[in-house]
Amino acid sequence: MLIAGPALARGGLRRGDVFSMANTLCAQTRELDVPWIFRIVAPSPEDRAATAFEDMLVVARDVHSRLRVPVAVEVHHPNDVAPAAEVADLLQIPAACCRDVELVTNAARTGRPVNIETDPSLAPADAVGLLEQVAGVGNWNVMLTARGINGESSGIDVRGLRDMREAGFPLVYDVGPDVARTDSKERAAGELAQHALTAGVDGIALIVEDDGEDADPAVGTAGYSLAALPRLLQRLKAVHRP
C-alpha cells in the first residue's frame, strides 16, 4: 500500500496542478498494481492560507470522483473533522496532533477509517494506546503511521515497528518530509522504505513532488520525484510480497 501526494506550501494550491499530479500517480500505481491512497499534506492552520482547508477538500473530492481512488484528508482541529469526513475515505491525524484527545475521538466517532501519524518521540506502547482510543468508541478501522527520522535508515526503530504491528492493526511507515530532489536523498528514502517493509510494515507513505518545468512551486515542496517514483515502487514490490 502506498499513501502519497503533494505537500502544500503556505501560499495555497492551484487545483489543476494537484489533480495533474494525482492523475500521474494514478497511472503509475495502476500500471504497477500498487494499492494507492491519495493524500495532501497541508501546513498547520497557523501557516496556511485562510481557504486552504476548503480548497483541499475540493481537490480531494475532485480526485476521488474523477479518478475513482481513495483519498486521505489531514485534520488538524476538531472542527475540521465533520467536513473532512464528508469527502475522505481516510481521516489522517498529523503527528503534531496525535495527542489531541478531542481530535482523535471526533475522528473516530465519524465511523471513517482513521490513520494516526505518530510523533517520533512517542513510545510504541503509547502509540498502541492511540489505536485503543479509536477502537474504544467502536471504530476498529484504525491504523498507525510511524515517521521517519532525518531521512536516515538508522532512524528506524525496528523493534518499535514490530511492537506496533503486533497490536494487530495496519502499520504504515512515512519516510518523512526531508526528501529533496537530490540523488542521495532519494536513495535514502528508498532505503528507509525498504528497511521498514523488511521490518513488517504494511505500507509506505511519501510526499511526492512534480519536478517538471511547469510545476507549481506551492505544490510538492520537499518530496520524492514524481518521475522517479515508478523505479522506487518496483524496488519496494520486490521486498514486500504479501
Among the residue ranges 5-9, 33-37, 98-102, 136-140, the one predicted with the least confidence is 5-9
The predicted-structure confidence for 21-71, as pLDDT tens digits, reads as follows 999 999 999 999 999 999 988 766 665 666 778 888 999 999 999 999 999
DSSP calls for 49-92: -TTHHHHHHHHHHHHHHHH---EEEE--SHHHHHHHHTT-SEEE
- Per DSSP bridges, beta strands 171-174 and 203-209 are parallel
pLDDT score of 178:
52
Q: 153: alpha, beta or left, given left = phi > 0 and alpha = psi -120 to 50?
A: alpha
Is this structure's pTM higher than 0.85? yes
- Give the Cα separation of 188 and 186 in Å (integer): 5
Please state the rounded mean pLDDT for residues 136-155. Answer: 75
pLDDT above 70 (res 149): no
Which candidate, 66, 82, 90, places its Cα nearest to that of 15? Answer: 66
pLDDT score of 152:
43
Binning pLDDT at 50, 70 and 90, where does residue 224 land? confident
Domain residue extents for the chain: 2-239
pLDDT score of 15:
73
pLDDT above 90 (res 223): no
pLDDT score of 73:
94
Q: Is 41 helix (H, G, I), strand (E, B) or coil?
A: strand
**Average pLDDT value over all residues in the chain:** 84
Question: What does DSSP assign to residue 89?
Answer: S
- Give the Cα separation of 149 and 35 in Å (integer): 25
- The domain made up of 2-239 has a fold known as TIM Barrel (3.20.20)
Please state the rounded mean pLDDT for residues 152-175. Answer: 82
Query: Under a CB-based contact definition with an 8 Å cutoff, are residues 8 and 52 in contact?
Result: yes
Contacts of residue 9, Cβ cutoff 8 Å, sequence gap at least 6: 43, 217, 218, 219, 221
